[in-house]
Structure 1
């Protein structure tokens, strides 16, 4: 349907979903199977991947992980908001679902900061800690002039 309306990219026209219900369920199963295999691979190959499941916690690693998670969530807010903006231009229903997910996730940095506080890290400690490059250099936040 061609419109002469000057407003574009506003999810004005409702499109058929990309996948049927059955195809969507199959895609979810395929993704879940892939992710389960990756989790097993991660647990087998990454040092400290299961550090919270044992009897000893590697505190230095745990503290750094809390700092990185708090930073990563804060740095991703802008990118997540931009993604929502782009989704709203294409599919209002998908945007609603993504917005609900973001509503729940947006302030999870506070949860990690509360955990950090319990192991002796203040908000000031977190903000004074330069995040590792893999956290600081996400596509939405990295500049080409940043050095390691």
Structure 2
């Protein structure tokens, strides 16, 4: 389980890092060859990245300790569960519950600024994914409606 958490923390650190904040060993190569690149594990970029991974790991562990596991993993992996026929993220149960967790950590439990920032980024990305899914569902419904009208 700990391995999965570390892998996920690395994935989140990569997803939410600027190109300059990613160690060269983890950057995609122009030629896409999987050459092992020597990296200085003591470099400033590497140290900052590892600190970022550690911060994400803390966010993941805290989230898993405070939220039901299946819900927490949906938030962490940015895979929201969308109910049918909702028109906005504001009506999505997953979004509402994740927002409640965010408010709990930020306002009631007063977590540190770094954790607030990371949860905020995750929350924003979660909202964007919900909006994409709602938009896609709306487009699919429009296509189906047009097909029915043609019959």
Q: TM-score, normalised by structure 1?
A: 0.30
Larger Rg: 1
Q: TM-score, normalised by structure 2?
A: 0.29
